[in-house]
Amino acid sequence: MQALTNRAKPVDRSPLTFLEKMYVPAIAKGMGITFKHIFKRKATVSFPEQRRQFSPVFRGLHVLNRDEEGRERCTACGLCAVACPAEAITMEAAERKPGEEHLYREEKYAARYEINMLRCIFCGFCEEACPKDAIYMSETFAPSNYQRKGFIYGKPDLLIPDPKQSSK
């Protein structure tokens, strides 16, 4: 039977010489590769002192955005949850009550908004699907955690701070 690829290599079954039995050529070849890499540029970044440059298409942690007046942009339309192929986003909508105009832009808002980061594949479809630019992906890595419930980010974890309250 013929192989599908031509990657098969013939194996030499001849007996080993004395030097080959001592593995001297293999050790010399390995040391040559090691010495060749000593003089190359290092790929390591000294993290606290140097910052790694991100790719322009890097997708990090999700962030829920606010408008210029500090109101939440999310109107709980659910397009981000529908667009998510991993079904990592869940939300519950609620109606805005009288007197809450300074908190929410529209009559409807997301009372509960959660992203399960263990399911998220960082595809960015939620960002593209949002008609209000309420969710975007920042240049922040997802932090590590010891428990599964620490990877489910709720609305308080995702919402950026209110610019009016932080300036006071």
Q: Binding-site residues for [4Fe-4S] cluster, please?
A: 74, 77, 80, 84, 120, 123, 126, 130
Dump the DSSP string for the chain. ---SSS---PPP-SPP-HHHHTTHHHHHHHHHHHHHHHTSPP----TTTS-PPPPTT----EEE-B-TTS-B------HHHHH-TT--EEEEEEEPPTT-TTTBSSSEEEEEEEEETTT-----HHHHH-TT--EEE-S-PPPP-SSGGGGEE-HHHHBPPPHHHHT-
Binding-site annotation, residues: 74, 77, 80, 84, 120, 123, 126, 130
